[in-house]
Structure 1
Amino acid sequence: MTTKTDDSRLARRLRLAALPAAALLGLALAQTAQAGAVQAEGSETGGKTAVVGKTITGDVSVTTKMLEAAPKADANWLVSGRDYDNSRFSPLKQINAANVKDLAPVAIAQTGYSASFETTPIVVNGIMYLTTPMVNSKQALIAMNATTGQTLWTYTYTDGQIQICCGPVNRGAAASNGMVYMLTLDDHLIAVNARTGKQEWMTQVADPRYGYSETMAPTVYKNMVIIGSAGGEWPIRGFIAAYDAQTGKQIWRFHTTDSKAGWEGDSWKTGGGTVWTTPTVDPKRGLVIFSTGNPNPDLNGAARKGDNRYTDSIVALNIHTGKLVWYYQEVKHDVWDYDAVSNAMLIDVKDHGKMVPAVGEAGKTAWYYIVNRETGKLIRKSQPFDKQENMFAQPTPKGVQMLPGANGGDDWSPPAFSPITRDVYVMGMNQLMTFTNEKSSPAIPGQIRLGSTFKNVDHGIQDGTLTAIDVDTGKIAWNDTVPQPMMGGVLATAGNLVFTGEGNGWFDAMDAKTGKRLWRFNLGAGVNAPPIAYSVKGREYVAVAAGGNFQLSYPYGDAVAIFALPKK
């Protein structure tokens, strides 16, 4: 594979990091070479695959009925957000605030893929399916025993040409129709047999030569696999699309830059707005709802005057046709990288004393946005869950300082919602940054286009938060601060617990009502992935990946840790 580093990209990520530039440069160069970030011409063909392991004998077929019943079922974790709501709430309560102090690891499963590890595993009747980051041009889908961590089979994919911004990550798989679905960094959607790991079909969904990459966990609704794409730092046009779950044939595609309004000239053709976190589905209303990324060029709007519709937005489509139903734009004409990329979540909230169907999304702006699910109209913004200083100041040649920085607020990290406390739990980052305005570069296919730069302020604010927000009022219920920016995800359970991880290796359990830390375990690598909960034969387990994070330079690992209470 031909490898090429990108000096502008490396420089940008160096400025994002809190570590010294010299230390990070070595990490960035090594990571870029490992990931295989290559030129936009003369691509090599990926798609080489291999399966090692044995056939699973149990029932691992996920049906539409199971997916729609997930909110009330307690044993499995069937989709990335646990249910179509993206609630990340488990009704299990065997592990609770009174006994979590006794929680202990029952397995530490090492995958052999040591890199940014952001997967959300799914669990089907005692079998765990998880995806790995890419290492040495290979990424894997692994089926393992969800109680022991024993690998049952491994499907390995060899990537071809790629261009990536933020580490060789993959955030998980989806299961339905007797198959498991995953996306690859070189833009392929793959279906494998859930019992054997054998590939059933593979479809290319975008062209990596132009900057598209696939990092998200897909979601499945009836006969459709729904996906989006990353790559908003390149002059591409974002999209979300549905594919036939049996054949891989495209059913519909929606582009996230409006060709009719909100853009100067034809800037919509290269306007970004990528969709790279898992959508939510409202079966009752026939909607797929998702959040969208930044416009391109990211940090200079001179070449894209207008609101830049539908970037930085919450968007709802008819799930059967892919046609627009409504949208709410959080940041118009964004020049701060304040993209809306945390998972949209379905919740019912009070609006003028009446419970109404709603959608929530944790913004990089440090507000939690709640909109009406039927109209897209804003119901409320929360109190800020992170610091806001000099916000929305226009970048200048000399630079301006502001909070939140370009990472947020909340970045991609999925929140969790507890219907018991009525709180949503959000990870956040306080990173004071300087935004500098530079001359905008032209849109050249296959070349990264940023528009300006941002960097951490030396000796400035650099910490993280976990915040509980009352969805009916938008008020902060409690806030916990940790020594480094938070990135990964949150799990809430009926046991009055909230689980989350830290970049220094701690995996924490908090009292959901008060925020008091009740338990922690250090896994030796950054816990920068969302935890899950499930049960097998009546025993509750909590699992999380620990593999660090490239963007924030947290220590690498390759493990999935599985915890349970001691057997009596």
Structure 2
Amino acid sequence: MITRYADRSSPVARVGRACVLLGLTLLASCRAQEPARRGQEPAEAEVAIGAVTDELLRQGHRAQPATWPTYGGDWAQTRYSPLAEIRRETVHRLRPAWIAQTGIVGSFESTPLVLGREMYITTPAEQGVQRILRLDSTTGEVAWQVELAGKAQSATAATEDDHLPTHFGPNRGVALYGDRVYLGTLNGTLLALDRKSGKQLFEVQTLSPRLTGAPLAANGRVIQGLSWIDRGAVQAFDAETGALIWTWYTIPSPDDGGWWGDWVETLPGRPAISLDRNIAEEKANRRRLADGWKTGGASAPMTPTFDAATGLVYVSTGGPDPTAFPPPAEPHPGDMRWTNSVCALRLEDGSEAWCYQFLPHDIWGASGPTPPILFPLQHEGRSLDVVGKLTGMGNLYVLARDTGEHVSMSDNYIPLDETRGGPSGVNLFRGGMAGTLWSPGAYSFDTGLVYSANQYVPGYFQPRREARGAGQFGNVAAVDPSTGRVVWQQRTDRPQAGGVLATAGGLVFSGRTSGWLDAYDAATGKRMWSFRVGAGCNSAPMTYRVNGRQYVALSCGGHGTLDPQGGDTVIAFTLAPPPD
């Protein structure tokens, strides 16, 4: 059952039929808005979006503000909007336009996708039930909903033998392509639904027991990163038939170069930080644990990034699985390729173009598979096309997009503690959750900065003992990728788990796990506006403009680990009329 609250105030004056086609199907009426400002396109018509094309996904929201057609707004995952109706000078007038409640309370991490008045959202799973809904993006009314009963393992049903935490049942959204909606379910299947009706068109089983990330659709393929799998993988399926095209494994077999790597002894990009390794002992363990690559972890749960110019798909991987290397082995012998990495794969056949590992031999649990971001960069007199990767260590790596060559590494935007655990236990300032984990970042074409939402969760590390920590907080940070300097940080009362949105209105939006949505000055980090939603906001905000009004929307439902404030809310904001 859906409960909906809508704001029916602030009508927008209708002023004729000055409409822009932009490859979309026009309806009879058009609406006007206030004059275009910096970063804004002219007001578009009220539109019904036709088939979702590769060109729409490539250019994304930046070229067609009436849409947010893919998880990161475009294939490059910039999460940047050229809209500026909501800006520093007007954000104080931002109010809820509508609120929809899905009836499923859980870790609500789905980013809404929008095509004109169509909004698509997925819920988490509770008691074995998950839903996908199509809403009206201007009112929150439900056009259709599909209940995926039996396709979602209950967040409370997992047992110790399953190796799945009992709180974990999120889903981060869908992919749109042609006239279809694609969804990875929490029982490991990839579904294709008809966009207009919600009718199921195909269902295929992946290698994974559960899928949490939104798929990527590109060039007739649907790319799905796999979650909660012994040996991480990415799979590509035919968008029309669902046929499997290729599978790429994140942990290479011995025949493919092996997981042990180069036995590096310092942190890549920061040679002053030692990884404190006993290489001889690790090599001995490699011989004893020769099959560790089969269960080495390195899941790829988040949406991949795609560059049409190079034909490369960029995948972020998580950390190693400690159960792959039981005592008395030193955990994770070798570099454990390709854990904690970004890898570039050829879309055509899934072959590996290059991989870069940010944290070899991870003993801290510093997994951070947040999506890579593609952007242009001026660096030391050179114009570069780069891929930026925010990490669980709390910094930004910048790499050449075509070769993976290291370009720069930022200062830390959370404290980095190199302490190792010991038999008697030790407090670490980087516990099991810190830095940028799964929260997607954003790049602003106005400021040239990369923005991130981060976690700071100290912990107590001791063998066979539950971690504990105090003093948890988060921050929203801005990093200059050309210099590596942290330009600003704004501390928050709880760890940040949602993500960020940057706009041409000079604003950065991010939700807090404590239940607030905030808008920050993109240049200075000053908090300009806040709204208490009530449930933890752990999805990344997005924006769109329909009928001459800009909206900012996100889902809020709490998080099983970081915050107990559960909810089931999708909420969209727009500007209230200015005072007379």
Q: Fold conserved (TM > 0.5)? A: yes
Partners in 1 of 2:53 and 2:542 — Cα distance?
20
RMSD: 1.7
Question: Is the 8 Å Cα contact of residues 310 and 329 (structure 1) preserved in structure 2?
Answer: yes
The offset of 1:60, in angstroms, is 4.7
1:410 to 436, 448, 451: 436
Q: Name the structure 2 match of 1:290.
A: 315
Query: Which aligned pairs between 1:87-102 and structure 2 lie closer than 5 A?
Result: 87-102=78-93
Q: 2:338 aligned with 1:310, yes or no?
A: yes
Query: Which aligned pairs between 1:428-443 and structure 2 lie closer than 5 A?
Result: 428-437=454-463
Partners in 2 of 1:535 and 1:193 — Cα distance?
24
Identity of aligned residues (%): 36
Give secondary structure in 2 for the equivalent of 1:408. strand
The offset of 1:352, in angstroms, is 2.2
Q: 2:133 aligned with 1:142, yes or no?
A: yes
The offset of 1:567, in angstroms, is 4.6
Question: Is the 8 Å Cα contact of residues 332 and 363 (structure 2) preserved in structure 1?
Answer: no
Partners in 1 of 2:332 and 2:516 — Cα distance?
43
2:55 to 35, 55, 65: 65
1:456 to 454, 468, 473: 468
Partners in 1 of 2:455 and 2:152 — Cα distance?
32
Q: Name the structure 2 match of 1:31.
A: none
Shift of the 292–342 alpha-carbon distance from structure 1 to 2, 3 Å rule, reads same
Q: 2:325 aligned with 1:328, yes or no?
A: no
Shift of the 565–143 alpha-carbon distance from structure 1 to 2, 3 Å rule, reads same
Q: Name the structure 2 match of 1:519.
A: 529
Partners in 1 of 2:331 and 2:96 — Cα distance?
53
The offset of 1:290, in angstroms, is 1.3
The offset of 1:467, in angstroms, is 0.5
The offset of 1:519, in angstroms, is 0.9
The offset of 1:553, in angstroms, is 2.7
1:218 to 192, 196, 215: 215
Question: Is the 8 Å Cα contact of residues 342 and 355 (structure 2) preserved in structure 1?
Answer: yes
Q: Name the structure 2 match of 1:421.
A: 447
Q: 2:248 aligned with 1:258, yes or no?
A: no
Question: Is the 8 Å Cα contact of residues 68 and 84 (structure 1) preserved in structure 2?
Answer: yes
Partners in 1 of 2:339 and 2:188 — Cα distance?
21
Q: TM-score, normalised by structure 1?
A: 0.83
Question: Is the 8 Å Cα contact of residues 413 and 486 (structure 2) preserved in structure 1?
Answer: yes
Give secondary structure in 2 for the equivalent of 1:405. strand
Question: Is the 8 Å Cα contact of residues 152 and 185 (structure 2) preserved in structure 1?
Answer: no
Give secondary structure in 2 for the equivalent of 1:521. strand
Q: 2:282 aligned with 1:281, yes or no?
A: no
Q: Name the structure 2 match of 1:75.
A: 66
The offset of 1:374, in angstroms, is 1.4
Q: 2:228 aligned with 1:231, yes or no?
A: yes
Q: Name the structure 2 match of 1:116.
A: 107
Note the alpha carbon deviations across 1:381-430, whole angstroms, 9 max, x for none: 111001123x1x33211122222222111111111111111111111122
Shift of the 303–385 alpha-carbon distance from structure 1 to 2, 3 Å rule, reads closer
Moved more, 370-379 or 492-501: 370-379
Q: Name the structure 2 match of 1:22.
A: none
Q: Partner amino acid for 1:220?
A: A
Partners in 2 of 1:172 and 1:94 — Cα distance?
26
Q: Name the structure 2 match of 1:490.
A: 500
The offset of 1:262, in angstroms, is 2.7
Q: Name the structure 2 match of 1:5.
A: none
Q: 2:197 aligned with 1:200, yes or no?
A: no
Partners in 2 of 1:454 and 1:423 — Cα distance?
38
2:386 to 353, 358, 362: 358
Give secondary structure in 1 for the equivalent of 2:432. coil
Partners in 2 of 1:326 and 1:157 — Cα distance?
37
Q: Partner amino acid for 1:73?
A: Q
Note the alpha carbon deviations across 1:283-322, whole angstroms, 9 max, x for none: 1001000110111216976364211111110110111110
- Bigger radius of gyration, 1 or 2? 2
The offset of 1:160, in angstroms, is 5.2
Moved more, 517-526 or 395-404: 395-404
Give 4+ residue runs of structure 1 displaced > 6 Å after superposition: 298-301
Note the alpha carbon deviations across 1:170-218, whole angstroms, 9 max, x for none: 000010110000111100100000001100100011253xxxx200000
Unaligned runs of 5+ in 1: 1-56, 439-452
Q: Partner amino acid for 2:89?
A: A
Shift of the 349–403 alpha-carbon distance from structure 1 to 2, 3 Å rule, reads farther
Partners in 1 of 2:302 and 2:152 — Cα distance?
22
Note the alpha carbon deviations across 1:357-376, whole angstroms, 9 max, x for none: 11111111111111111111
Q: 2:364 aligned with 1:367, yes or no?
A: no
Shift of the 564–160 alpha-carbon distance from structure 1 to 2, 3 Å rule, reads closer
Give secondary structure in 2 for the equivalent of 1:406. strand
Q: Partner amino acid for 1:481?
A: R
Note the alpha carbon deviations across 1:238-270, whole angstroms, 9 max, x for none: 100100001111111100001122343111011
Question: Is the 8 Å Cα contact of residues 342 and 412 (structure 1) preserved in structure 2?
Answer: yes
Partners in 2 of 1:283 and 1:532 — Cα distance?
23
Partners in 2 of 1:140 and 1:61 — Cα distance?
23
Question: Is the 8 Å Cα contact of residues 388 and 402 (structure 1) preserved in structure 2?
Answer: no
Partners in 2 of 1:310 and 1:245 — Cα distance?
27
Q: 2:422 aligned with 1:396, yes or no?
A: yes
Q: TM-score, normalised by structure 2?
A: 0.81
Note the alpha carbon deviations across 1:301-349, whole angstroms, 9 max, x for none: 6364211111110110111110000011011111211123111111222
The offset of 1:557, in angstroms, is 0.6
Q: Name the structure 2 match of 1:8.
A: none
Partners in 1 of 2:429 and 2:556 — Cα distance?
28
Note the alpha carbon deviations across 1:133-186, whole angstroms, 9 max, x for none: 012211111000001000110011123584533511000001011000011110
Q: Partner amino acid for 1:253?
A: T
Moved more, 305-314 or 161-170: 161-170
Question: Is the 8 Å Cα contact of residues 129 and 151 (structure 2) preserved in structure 1?
Answer: no
Question: Is the 8 Å Cα contact of residues 59 and 75 (structure 2) preserved in structure 1?
Answer: no
- How many residues are aligned here? 487
Partners in 1 of 2:430 and 2:310 — Cα distance?
35
Q: Name the structure 2 match of 1:481.
A: 491
The offset of 1:113, in angstroms, is 1.1
Give secondary structure in 2 for the equivalent of 1:407. strand
Q: Name the structure 2 match of 1:339.
A: 367
1:553 to 556, 559, 563: 563
The offset of 1:524, in angstroms, is 1.0
1:247 to 241, 249, 255: 241
The offset of 1:275, in angstroms, is 0.3
Q: Name the structure 2 match of 1:376.
A: 404
The offset of 1:505, in angstroms, is 1.2
